[in-house]
C-alpha cells in the first residue's frame, strides 16, 4: 500500500469551489481549454477521438442508465479555481453486464463521449482488465506499485472485460486493491463484464463483489451478439 499522499486527491469537500462552479454556471461562463494529462487522453469532445480506438470512435451512448450516469458525474464536477473548467471529482460507477457482442464497450466509450459533451474536464483511461494485469505483473525495472496507484487514482477509469482473465490469488488481490481504492475515493468507474455477479464473486472474491454491488449501478444488456447479428 502506498502512502496516503500518493492516493487520489479529490476536490470534493471544497464547498467554496462547488459554489464558484455553480455561480459560473449560473452566469453562463463555460471554462474552456483541455485538461493537461500525462497519463491518458483527456476528454473534451474535440480531443475524444485521439483516445478512443477506431472501432468505437463513433460510439454514442443511448442507454438511459448510461446517459443518467454522465449527467450525475457532470453534476458532481467542481472547478478547481475561479474560471477554470470543472473537473470530474467523485461520482457513481456502472457495471455493464451482458453476453459477448452485446454492446457493452460501445456504451462505455459512448459514456465517455456523453460526459465530454457536458463540457467537464476529465483525465481518463480505458483498459481491459487482462491488459492491466499484464502491465502490473511484477517485473524488473518497472514500479508496478506506482502503476497500480496511478490507475487507481485516475479520475475516470474504464475497466473492460472484468472477469475475462484467468483467475488467481494475484488477480484477486490486484483487483481488490484497485476496486477498493476507487470505492474509498468514490471515483467513477465504467466496468464491463460477461460474468453474472455470482460468477464475479467466485472469480474475484467477495470483497470485490461486495464493493461493486454498492458502488455500481448494474446495466443489463439484451442477450444478442451484435457482431454475429450484423453478418447474419
Ligand atoms: N448501439 C450500437 N449501435 C451500433 N453499433 C453497436 C452498438 N452497440 C454495439 N455496436 C457494435 O456491435 C459490436 C459489438 O459491440 P461491443 O464490442 O461493444 O460488444 P461487447 O458487449 O463489449 O462485447 P465483448 O463482451 O465481446 O467485449 C461492435 O462492432 C460495436 O461497434
Ligand atoms: Mg467489449
> Is 114 within a domain?
yes
Q: What are phi and psi of 148, to 5 degrees?
A: -65, -45
User: Is pLDDT at 9 greater than 70 in this prediction?
Assistant: no
Query: Which residue minimizes the CA distance to atom 23 of ligand 1?
Result: 101
User: Is pLDDT at 50 greater than 90 in this prediction?
Assistant: no
Give the CATH number, domain containing residue 144. Answer: 3.40.50.300
Tell me if 103 CB under 6 Å of ligand 1: yes
Tell me if 101 CB under 6 Å of ligand 1: yes
In the structure, what pLDDT confidence band is assigned to residue 125 with cuts at 50, 70 and 90?
very high
Cell of 57: 470512435
> Is 79 within a domain?
yes
Residue 47: Cβ-neighbour burial (10 angstroms; 0-12, 13-18, 19+): middle
Looking at the structure of the chain, the number of domains it has is 1
In the structure, what pLDDT confidence band is assigned to residue 211 with cuts at 50, 70 and 90?
very high
> Is 5 within a domain?
no
Q: 136-148 pLDDT, tens per residue?
A: 999 999 999 999 9
> Is 97 within a domain?
yes
SS (H, E, C) 44-94: CHHHHHHHCCHHHCCCCCCCHHHHHHHHHHHHCCECCCCCCCCECCCCCEE
161 Cα to the center of ligand 1, angstroms: 13
- Residue from 59, 60, 96, 106 whose mutation best tests the ligand 1 pocket (most atoms within 8 A of CB): 106
> Is 6 within a domain?
no
Which domain range does residue 216 map to?
A: 11-231
In the structure, what pLDDT confidence band is assigned to residue 96 with cuts at 50, 70 and 90?
very high
Lowest mean pLDDT of 38-42, 97-101, 154-158, 175-179, name the range. Answer: 38-42
> Is 208 within a domain?
yes
In the structure, what pLDDT confidence band is assigned to residue 30 with cuts at 50, 70 and 90?
very low
Environment of ion ligand 2 (residues, CB < 5 A): 105
> Is 3 within a domain?
no
How many Å separate Cα 137 from the centre of its chain?
21
166 Cα to the center of ligand 2, angstroms: 17
> Is 99 within a domain?
yes
pLDDT at 23: 41
Amino acid at each position: 500500500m502506498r502512502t496516503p499522499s500518493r492516493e487520489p486527491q479529490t476536490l470534493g469537500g471544497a464547498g467554496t469551489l462547488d459554489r464558484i462552479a455553480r455561480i459560473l454556471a449560473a452566469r453562463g461562463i463555460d471554462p474552456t481549454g483541455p485538461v493537461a494529462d500525462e497519463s491518458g487522453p483527456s476528454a473534451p469532445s474535440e480531443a475524444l477521438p485521439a483516445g478512443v480506438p477506431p472501432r468505437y470512435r463513433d460510439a454514442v451512448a443511448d442507454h438511459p442508465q448510461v446517459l443518467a450516469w454522465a449527467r450525475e458525474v457532470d453534476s458532481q464536477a467542481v472547478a478547481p479555481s475561479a474560471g477554470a473548467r470543472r473537473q470530474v471529482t467523485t461520482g457513481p460507477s456502472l457495471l455493464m453486464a451482458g453476453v459477448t457482442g452485446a454492446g457493452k464497450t460501445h456504451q462505455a466509450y459512448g459514456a465517455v463521449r456523453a460526459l465530454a459533451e457536458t463540457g467537464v474536464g476529465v483525465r481518463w483511461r480505458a483498459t481491459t482488465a487482462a491488459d492491466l494485469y499484464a502491465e502490473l505483473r511484477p517485473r524488473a525495472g518497472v514500479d508496478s506499485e506506482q502503476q497500480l496507484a496511478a490507475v487507481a487514482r485516475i479520475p475516470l477509469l474504464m475497466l473492460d472485460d472484468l472477469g475475462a482473465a484467468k483467475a488467481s490469488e494475484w488477480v484477486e488481490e490486484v483487483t481488490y486493491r484497485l476496486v477498493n481504492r476507487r470505492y474509498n475515493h468514490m471515483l467513477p468507474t465504467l466496468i464491463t463484464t460477461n460474468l453474472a455477479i455470482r460468477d464475479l464473486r467466485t472469480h474475484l472474491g467477495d470483497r470485490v463483489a461486495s464493493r461493486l454491488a454498492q458502488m455500481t449501478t448494474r446495466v443489463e444488456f439484451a442477450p444478442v451478439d451484435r457482431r454475429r447479428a450484423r453478418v447474419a
